[in-house]
Structure 1
Amino acid sequence: MSGSEADRNGADEGESGGGTETDHSGSDDAATGRDDTPARRKPVVVVVEPETPGNVGTIARAMKNFGLDDLKLVNSPELREDGEAYGFAGHAREDVLPNADEVTFDEVVANYHTVGTTAITGEDDRSHERFPFKTPVELRESLKTVDAPTAIVFGREGRGLNNEELSRLDEVCSIPADDDYPVLNLGQAATVLLYELRELTVAETQLPDADVVRAPEADVERFHGYFDEFLASTGQREHVRERNALLMRRLLGRAHPTEREIHSLLGTFRKANTKLEHADHLAAKYDEPVYPRE
């Protein structure tokens, strides 16, 4: 868990959300009718360990086509200006590609609401890493009324994102394709998905106002840390705890909690963890079970 206990307590006790509910109706902006509401944040595109520079260039070109400019690469090969990537990038060679950031997978998870992409999905809820999943259209509709820093994460050409990586991401998206050959080329998959998301990224498209501003991802990740502590205190078997932690990540990934909601959950689970820790301490002191273990 990041930060000191004092820092965490201070943030969690803000669960009433008072700082986010200020009434600005009497402000100068309201009086003048000026709208300074920030523009909707566009998704960033993340490519994990791409093997072929040409595919990175193709993805950059698709981003340029559909109004995106923030490309992040995890363990990317060298992208030379006289190489494949720039040759495939079209006009994206002028801005998207040269401005791409090298990041780590951990940094993406910590700072964004993440949507992992995969061709191979689970058929039912027994495969928690790959189910439930959204189609690109369903993802677009889900993100339409949510304002959050979002990352669309693509995997390797040959293997895609593995189960461990998918288990750390908030949502899963898959492009419907024929069962006999469901796997698309990486560049093709990115182009199809970004095309379907164009209503969120192309300026001339009229969008509804955001209904929800999602809580900062650092707070969401801190909640997952608290929830992991809570699960460890319950005495469940490790594989059950891992499954429940993943189910909670998927649930919050779909729910888009607000800052007020996540702070309330943080406060609740912090206090629950403190009480469970105290109960364990007393049980150890007096050599008594806290509650029956599995």
Structure 2
Amino acid sequence: MSGDEGAGVDRDASVDSDSASAGDDGSEGSTRRKPVVVVVEPETPGNVGTIARAMKNFGLSDLKLVDPPELKEGGEAYGFAGHAREDVLPNAETVTFDEVVSNYHTVGTTAITGEDDRSHERFPFKTPVELRESLKTVDAPTAVVFGREGRGLNNEELSRLDEVCSIPAADDYPVLNLGQAATVLLYELRDLTVDETQLPDTAVTRAPEADLERFHEFFGDFLAVTGQREHVREKNALLMRRLLGRAHPTEREIHSLLGTFRKANAKLEHADHLAAKYDEPVYPRDG
């Protein structure tokens, strides 16, 4: 971690340099200046490590600390940081609150908000999702500022910051652990900070309509062979059509269902045939 000496450099120049090195492929994620994360007077090294890990998870790397505790290599902070111990945490910079305010568009975080405009320090506020949508429209050096574990940011500090963000939580216990709050907020900002995730493409290709219609025919036969009354069959057939209309099944899914109902219909028809042949009761039907 660099000391206060390094914090006195021209912050605007360093921000511009970070922006220029972000990438030039034209994608929003690679050219947008990513927010820096600031923690004011953290008390527990483990929370600093947790925040560093969350930053690594969601594509952020610039961690700034105001009056932090000692972060010993191999200590609690490094134990909580995961792979962020390799870069985010050791590169964290000690700064002053004044430097953050002077050089960044600032977003203060708080669990306790004002209910109306009589409390200007904590109102108006944005939820993390609202903050994400707001920041999408502005490309500026931005700092997301977290406060102390026990007290958070005080009113004087919040009054010097540009915006306020609060995570919606249960009214009877809205205060999150510092590391948890940072993880939730950075997760919601991921569209601004992460170009790709480990998740596969989730686009679904709907099965061909001809296959879907074949399924509806099989399902209609199934309803008929189970002996349901006509008005009940019509209702259930419509419910199934609406259900599949919302579900957008894939070709593989609909083919699996086709096979299942084909076999079910064949077995039910065979049971009816045997019942008639041996004068046995047919498959139980509605009375």
Find the aligned partners of 1:35 and 1:105 in 2 and give their Cα distance.
Answer: 34
Q: What is the CA deviation profile of residues 193-212 of structure 1, one whole-angstrom value per residue up to 9, with x for unaligned ones?
A: 0000000000138xxxxxxx
- With the length of structure 2 as denominator, give the TM-score of the two structures: 0.58
Find the aligned partners of 2:195 and 2:141 in 1 and give their Cα distance.
Answer: 18
Deviation at 1:82, TM superposition (A): 1.8
> Where does structure 2 lack aligned partners over 5 or more consecutive residues?
1-24, 198-287
Q: 1:197 aligns with which of 169, 180, 189?
A: 189
Partner of residue 118, structure 1: 110
For residues 235-274 of structure 1, what are the structure 2 equivalents within 5 Å?
none
Look up the equivalent residue of 1:172 and give its one-letter code: V
Q: What is the CA deviation profile of residues 114-149 of structure 1, one whole-angstrom value per residue up to 9, with x for unaligned ones?
A: 000000000000000000000000000000121000
Look up the equivalent residue of 1:170 and give its one-letter code: D
Partner of residue 48, structure 1: 40
Give the 3 Å change call, closer, same or farther, for CA 164–91 of structure 1 in structure 2. Answer: same
Find the aligned partners of 2:113 and 2:141 in 1 and give their Cα distance.
Answer: 25
Provide the identity percentage: 90
Find the aligned partners of 1:66 and 1:144 in 2 and give their Cα distance.
Answer: 16
Partner of residue 286, structure 1: none
Q: 1:169 aligns with which of 161, 166, 169?
A: 161
SS at 2:119 equivalent: coil
Q: 1:86 aligns with which of 74, 78, 84?
A: 78
Q: Which has the higher contact order (CA 8 A, sep 6+)?
A: 1
For residues 1-294 of structure 1, what are the structure 2 equivalents within 5 Å?
39-204=31-196
SS at 1:191 equivalent: helix
SS at 1:146 equivalent: coil
Find the aligned partners of 2:125 and 2:43 in 1 and give their Cα distance.
Answer: 25
Find the aligned partners of 2:79 and 2:107 in 1 and give their Cα distance.
Answer: 28
Q: For the pair shown, which has the larger CA radius of gyration, 1 or 2?
A: 2
Deviation at 1:159, TM superposition (A): 0.1
Find the aligned partners of 1:58 and 1:93 in 2 and give their Cα distance.
Answer: 10
> Where does structure 1 lack aligned partners over 5 or more consecutive residues?
1-33, 206-294
Question: When the two structures are aligned, how many residues end up with a matched partner?
Answer: 172
Q: What is the CA deviation profile of residues 228-280 of structure 1, one whole-angstrom value per residue up to 9, with x for unaligned ones?
A: xxxxxxxxxxxxxxxxxxxxxxxxxxxxxxxxxxxxxxxxxxxxxxxxxxxxx
Look up the equivalent residue of 2:53 and give its one-letter code: R
Deviation at 1:110, TM superposition (A): 0.2
Deviation at 1:35, TM superposition (A): 6.2
SS at 1:188 equivalent: helix
SS at 2:31 equivalent: coil
Find the aligned partners of 1:131 and 1:184 in 2 and give their Cα distance.
Answer: 19
Deviation at 1:104, TM superposition (A): 0.1
Superposition misfits of 4+ residues, deviation over 4 angstroms: 34-38
Partner of residue 292, structure 1: none
Find the aligned partners of 1:115 and 1:36 in 2 and give their Cα distance.
Answer: 25
